[in-house]
Amino acid sequence: MTASNNNEQMNNLSINEPYSNLTPKQKMRYFYDRYQRSGAVGFGTPIPPKLPESLTNVKLEGKQVAQLPLTTLETSVLFGTISGDTSINIDKGYKNARCQCRHSTRQSEWFFWKWITVLGRFCELSSMLWQASDGYQLASAEKPGELLGKLKVTTRACEELTQVHSIIVTKGKKGFRRSWLNHMTDYFLMTLWLDDGSIHAGGTQGEFALDMHEVADLELFSDYLRTVWGVNNYVVDKKEYTKCGHRRHRINIASPKDLLNLLRIIAPIIPVRSMLYKVYFVSHNDSNLTQRWACELVSLVKDEFKDEVKTFYANLQTQVEDV
């Protein structure tokens, strides 16, 4: 089959075609086509990235990060995702660095927004793969009609990423440094939260799961989050180990008030509908607080997401009334 015929076959796929008949490349194309139909591919007119007020008077011109050949949006999203689960390495035999990242297919919109809409200069659809479920995902039951798996991207190796690597990697390890954190905007926090943040069951707190960072790194980021963005938090030892034998520590948000302060920064710039769950705060012991947040969140998110938020909290209220 020629490349053109293969592309035509992928373009003509019906979403009702049995998934077992699709090749991994066709499965990837299925998710990409769905992303294009979602309307997020162009991102409309993005809200301009904003530095925290505490740093607006800090002179950053001439610094290493400011000299990167990247837009402010690209810098914040790229540094945010590399600070989480995205790897950046210079492979043996290569001069320049490349990134690799995987997401669950349940986060496919977010995956494509990052790697096509914002960071598309570093990769193409042909550099992306669908992979079968592995790890913790193996324990997840597929929903009716769902194609569950992982989406993986490997960027091209390039000078721009090598420059980023020189800033964020020291002695082979990724790390937080105030010298580059001071350049980060609200999109950095949003990216890090959507990649590795979560609201605890019960809704009273949240956490950043940055398991592969050293404790000293987490303490530095914790201080940055507290002093620069005004979000009180603390590093907690989970007293357990990752599969790699790394002692697991997490950054816990200190209180519901601090969690909502963080979500107020993130909610207005969430770019895809499927990631709204990351800002669905529900208090387990204060229904009035939940209701106030529901009303505020509707005012914070993009116009096209407002009905989605209203529906979530309306259904939540119905469940409470039915108990």
Q: Distance between CA 120 and CA 231 in Å, rounded?
A: 32
* Tokens 């290493």 -> residue: 64
Confidence of residue 204 (pLDDT cuts 50, 70, 90): low
Asked if residue 261 has pLDDT above 90, the reply is: yes
Strand pairing partners for 235? 251
**Crossing angle for the helix pair 72-82 and 159-168, to the nearest 10 degrees:** 60
Q: Which position has the higher pLDDT, 212 or 216?
A: 216
How do residues 126-147 score in pLDDT, each as one tens digit? 999 999 888 777 777 788 888 8
Domains with residue ranges and CATH for the chain: 186-322 (3.10.28.10)
How do residues 63-81 score in pLDDT, each as one tens digit? 999 999 999 999 999 999 9
pLDDT value, residue 135 = 72
Asked if residue 323 has pLDDT above 70, the reply is: no
How do residues 169-203 score in pLDDT, each as one tens digit? 999 999 999 999 999 999 999 999 999 999 987 66
pLDDT value, residue 129 = 94
Give me Rg for the CA atoms of the chain: 20
pLDDT value, residue 5 = 43
Integer angstrom CA distances of residue 303 from 39, 113, 282, 300, 315: 13, 18, 22, 9, 20
Q: Which range (66-80, 83-97, 171-185, 240-254) has the least confidence? A: 240-254
Q: Distance between CA 260 and CA 282 in Å, rounded?
A: 11
Asked if residue 6 has pLDDT above 50, the reply is: no
Question: In degrees, to the nearest 5, what angle opens at C-alpha 142 toward C-alphas 13 and 311?
Answer: 90
Strand order in the sheet with 150-154: 87-89, 98-104, 150-154, 128-131
Single out the residue of 221, 261, 199, 204 nearest to residue 79, CA to CA.
221
pTM of this structure: 0.91
Q: Distance between CA 319 and CA 322 in Å, rounded?
A: 5
Query: What integer is the mean pLDDT of 4-30?
Result: 64
Asked if residue 210 has pLDDT above 90, the reply is: yes
How do residues 36-71 score in pLDDT, each as one tens digit? 888 766 555 678 999 999 998 888 888 999 999 999
